[in-house]
């Protein structure tokens, strides 16, 4: 099996596995005052610092959650409660887009969804218009993802922040696919809220975080009410092993990020160049704009993506957004980029990461070329009278 689905989930880093196992083997509730509880709290504090150093923020600005879905829900609900319009984009993950729709459904005109161009880049002129168009009502929140999960296309978040802050809006970013893959410095990038999930950068599944900038005052509505953990933002006994695994993965990603980004970009470019050369009619989505190192969204005109995937069982990749659901609906991201339904249904996402090798890429090229040839010959035979 060649695993090229890092955007769905990345393999657990060995450093994270060791940390999780060690934490699972020790007992202690991080809220308890006795020795075992203090030990658990010390481990959680260390993980908080490890994540803070990956983001260059302070440990006190991190709220641990069950993942990016929860972090996004929390961020959007809390910031929207300020009152005003919610502005987001057409290419967000459902964990933003669906939440935005749900919380604004009773308030006509309270949701503005910004379009993207053919490369998947947010139109900043449309953001200006949305901010002005809010008028008296004001803008509660602008939520724009840092990197798209299907195409890897990056956002110029600094430009978004500049205009959004000038209009008095709070800015949230879903940085789930970005964190741990490219450098981020929250001392410089003045975003107010940021969501992430550990399993995208080699930590365990089911744990993530919301960064909440110090001094940001929100009439927040916790999703979970109970024991008051995480400064009241997120009640419930802390997932110590998961958090410790997140911390270890964050540290490994921080230390190796530069080398991994260079290496993974080279592998991605090689895969892309080989596929483009051997399958000249395929099309790479977002090819001309800055993207994450390891992502290729590739359309094989006329060939259903599920058939391409089925014809190469040794390769783990995905059609559309595997992490969104198992439901066969066309990718809203590709549709927003102006692709037809057929094109969206003929698109496969390969996502490479820290453990991908040269040999994986060589074998993937042969497997894809073979799969395409096989499907074409079956289709040609079916078309014979
Ligand atoms: N946002 C983005 C951009 C994602 O890619 C994902 C995971 N596919 C999520 C949010 C949700 O992450 P999780 O399922 O870990 O909560």
Topology of domain 14-252 in CATH is 3.40.640
Name the residue ranges covered by the structural domains of the chain. 2-8+257-379, 14-252
- Torsion 300-98-114-8 (CA) sign: negative
Two structure tokens written together for 115: 């379009």
pTM equals 0.96
Residue by residue, what is the 3-state secondary structure of the chain? CEECECCCCCCCCHHHHHHHHHHHCCCCCCCCCCHHHHHHHHHHHHHHHHHHHHHCCCHHHEEEECCHHHHHHHHHHHHHCCCCEEEEECCCCHHHHHHHHHHHCCCCCCEEEECECCCCCECHHHHHHHHHHCHHHCEEEEECCCECCCCCEECCHHHHHHHHHHCCCEEEEECCCCCCCCCCCCCCCCCCEEEEEHHHCCCCCCCEEEEECCCCCCCCCCCCCCCCCHHHCCCCCCCHHHHHHHHHHHHHHHHHHHHHHHHHHHHHHHHHHHHHHHCCCCEECCCCCCECCCEEEEECCCCCHHHHHHCCCCEECEECCCCCCCCCCCCHHHHHCCCCHHHHHCEEEEECCCCCCHHHHHHHHHHHHHHHHHHHHHHHHHHCC
Q: How far is the CA of 344 from the centre of ligand 1 (A)?
A: 20
Kind of pairing between the strands at 193-197 and 2-3: unpaired
Q: At what angle do helices 240-278 and 35-55 cross, to 10 degrees?
A: 30
Q: In the CATH scheme, what architecture does the domain 2-8+257-379 have?
A: Alpha-Beta Complex (3.90)
Give residue 320's pLDDT: 66
Q: Is 69 in the pocket of ligand 1 (CB under 6 A)?
A: yes
Q: How far is the CA of 95 from the centre of ligand 1 (A)?
A: 7
Edge to edge, the sheet with strand 318-319 lists: 283-284, 295-299, 347-351, 318-319
Give residue 322's pLDDT: 44
Q: Map tokens 């984009």 to a residue.
A: 89
Report in angstroms the alpha-carbon separations of 224 from 66, 67, 68, 339: 11, 14, 15, 39
Q: How far is the CA of 93 from the centre of ligand 1 (A)?
A: 7
- Nearest atom in ligand 1 to 8's CA: 8
Give residue 384's pLDDT: 84
Question: Could you give the CA distance from residue 350 to residue 300 in angstroms, rounded to a whole number?
Answer: 13
Question: Could you give the CA distance from residue 290 to residue 297 in angstroms, rounded to a whole number?
Answer: 13
Q: Is 30 in the pocket of ligand 1 (CB under 6 A)?
A: no
Question: Could you give the CA distance from residue 283 to residue 22 in angstroms, rounded to a whole number?
Answer: 46
Question: Could you give the CA distance from residue 258 to residue 164 in angstroms, rounded to a whole number?
Answer: 30
| Nearest alpha-carbon partner for 253 in 185, 201, 209 | 201
Ligand 1 pocket, mutate which of 66, 67, 98 (most atoms under 8 A from CB): 67
User: Cβ(198)–Cβ(27) under 8 Å?
Assistant: no
338: region left, alpha or beta (phi > 0 left; psi from -120 to 50 alpha): left
| Nearest alpha-carbon partner for 206 in 238, 180, 179 | 238
Other CB atoms within a 10 A radius of the CB of residue 379 amount to 13
- Nearest atom in ligand 1 to 324's CA: 8
Give pLDDT tens digits for 265-312.
Answer: 999 999 999 999 999 999 999 999 999 999 999 999 999 999 999 999
Other CB atoms within a 10 A radius of the CB of residue 68 amount to 29
Give residue 282's pLDDT: 96
Q: Is 245 in the pocket of ligand 1 (CB under 6 A)?
A: no
Give residue 139's pLDDT: 97
Question: Could you give the CA distance from residue 191 to residue 262 in angstroms, rounded to a whole number?
Answer: 26
Q: Is 151 in the pocket of ligand 1 (CB under 6 A)?
A: no
Give residue 327's pLDDT: 58
Q: How many residues does the chain have?
A: 385
The catalytic site residues sit at 323
Residues in the chain predicted with pLDDT less than 70, given as ranges, are 320-328
Q: How far is the CA of 179 from the centre of ligand 1 (A)?
A: 12
Q: Is 173 in the pocket of ligand 1 (CB under 6 A)?
A: no
Report in angstroms the alpha-carbon separations of 68 from 3, 158, 219, 323, 349: 22, 21, 21, 12, 21
Q: Is 251 in the pocket of ligand 1 (CB under 6 A)?
A: no
């Amino acid at each position: 099996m060649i695993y090229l689905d890092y955007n769905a989930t990345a393999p657990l880093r060995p450093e994270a596995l060791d940390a999780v196992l060690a934490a699972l083997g020790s007992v202690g509730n991080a809220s308890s005052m006795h020795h075992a509880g203090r030990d658990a709290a010390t481990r959680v504090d260390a993980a908080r610092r490890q994540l803070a150093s990956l983001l260059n923020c302070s440990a006190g600005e991190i709220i641990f959650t069950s993942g990016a879905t929860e972090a996004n829900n929390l961020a959007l609900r809390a910031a929207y409660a300020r009152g005003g319009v919610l502005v987001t984009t057409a290419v967000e993950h459902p964990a933003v887009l669906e939440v935005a729709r749900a919380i604004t459904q009773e308030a006509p005109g309270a949701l503005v969804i910004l379009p993207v161009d053919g490369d998947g880049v947010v139109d900043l002129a449309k953001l200006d218009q949305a901010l002005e168009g809010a008028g008296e009502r004001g803008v509660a929140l602008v939520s724009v993802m840092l990197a798209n999960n299907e195409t890897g296309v990056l956002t110029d978040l600094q430009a978004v922040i500049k205009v959004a802050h000038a209009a008095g809006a709070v800015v949230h970013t879903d940085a789930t696919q970005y964190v741990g893959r490219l450098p981020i410095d929250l001392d410089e990038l003045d975003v107010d809220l940021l969501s992430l999930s550990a399993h995208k950068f080699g930590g365990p599944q089911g744990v993530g975080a919301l960064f909440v900038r110090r001094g940001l005052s929100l009439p927040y509505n916790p999703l979970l009410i109970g024991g008051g953990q995480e400064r009241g933002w997120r009640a419930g006994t802390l997932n110590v092993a998961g958090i410790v695994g997140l911390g270890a993965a964050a540290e490994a990603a921080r230390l190796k990020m530069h080398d991994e980004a260079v290496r993974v970009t080279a592998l991605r470019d090689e895969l892309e160049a080989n596929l483009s050369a051997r399958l000249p009619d395929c099309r790479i989505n977002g090819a001309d704009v800055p993207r994450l190192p390891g992502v290729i969204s590739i359309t094989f005109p006329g060939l259903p993506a599920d058939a391409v995937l089925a014809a190469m069982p040794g390769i783990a990749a995905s059609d559309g957004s595997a992490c969104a659901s198992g439901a066969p609906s066309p990718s809203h991201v590709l549709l927003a980029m102006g692709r037809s339904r057929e094109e969206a249904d003929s698109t496969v996402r390969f996502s490479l990461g820290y453990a991908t090798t040269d040999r994986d890429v060589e074998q993937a090229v042969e497997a894809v070329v073979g799969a395409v040839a096989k499907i074409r010959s079956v289709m040609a035979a079916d078309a014979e009278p």
